[in-house]
């Protein structure tokens, strides 16, 4: 079993805790499903949020999905002029049989523009 990193992101429509939980939950679910993973395959998950998001911690969405025994951490994304607003990014470390090229990185909605080279 290999350790792999899976990337993902979603752009929120607004800074609202319920909306964040819904959208980040959808992103995490898509990451797991598209890679054939279970929550038990997660080693750790890093979340970053752009500086314009203040309503909640993105990791709260993982806890709401029942991901309770995995180390999670939240950080603020760099405040770069011209960067996409209201974005939550995910970097999940997982145990999987997938090769590096077999990993499905998930960028939902407008966030797909962030990494057209790897978004699936």
How far is it, in rounded angstroms, from Cα 21 to Cα 24? 5
Q: What is the pLDDT of residue 119?
A: 58
How far is it, in rounded angstroms, from Cα 96 to Cα 102? 10
Query: Which among 46, 24, 28, 26 is positioned nearest to 37, based on CA atoms?
Result: 28
Give percent above pLDDT 70 in the chain.
98
Q: What is the pLDDT of residue 100?
A: 94
By three-state DSSP, how is residue 91 classified? strand
Backbone dihedral angles phi then psi of residue 12, each to the nearest 5 degrees: -80, 150
Q: What is the mean pLDDT of the chain?
A: 95
């Amino acid at each position: 079993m290999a350790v792999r990193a899976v990337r993902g992101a979603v752009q929120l429509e607004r800074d609202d805790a319920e909306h964040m939980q819904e959208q980040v939950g959808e992103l995490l679910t898509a990451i797991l499903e598209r890679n054939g993973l279970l929550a038990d395959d997660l080693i750790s998950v890093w979340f970053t949020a752009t500086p314009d998001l203040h309503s909640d911690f993105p990791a709260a969405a993982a806890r709401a999905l029942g991901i309770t025994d995995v180390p999670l951490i939240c950080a603020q994304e760099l405040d770069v002029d011209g960067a996409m607003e209201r974005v939550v990014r995910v970097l999940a470390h997982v145990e999987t049989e997938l090769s590096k090229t077999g990993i499905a990185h998930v960028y939902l909605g407008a966030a797909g523009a962030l990494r057209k080279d790897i978004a699936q």
